Amino acid sequence: MITFSDGGSEHTVRELWRGYNIMNAIDNLTEAWQEVKTSTMNGAWRKIYPECIAIFPGSEEPIRNAHQEIAGLAH
């Protein structure tokens, strides 16, 4: 909406919302999720489930192990 309104467009907010759809929302969520840093996720999960903290940036092994543990708990 900020990009839309800052562009000097003559469209109204109502017109923006009429053209906004689920795909736009998914695109917005994708962009936002890509901006989340590993350190932010580690900070959020550190006290709840410390075993899933990524020790080495880019390493997916702790995450893969966490998925297996969570699946085991769910069963």
pLDDT of 35 reads 92
Name the residue ranges covered by the structural domains of the chain.
Answer: 1-35, 38-75
Write out the two tokens for 15: 């017109």
Stated pTM of the model: 0.48
Q: Tens of pLDDT along 27-75?
A: 999 999 999 988 888 888 888 888 777 655 555 555 667 777 888 888 8
Which spans in the chain are helix H?
Answer: 2-6, 13-19, 22-34, 38-45, 61-74
pLDDT of 31 reads 93
- Please say whether the beta carbons of 24 and 15 come within 8 A: no
Q: If you search the block for the tokens 């006290």, which residue do you land on?
A: 47
pLDDT of 30 reads 94
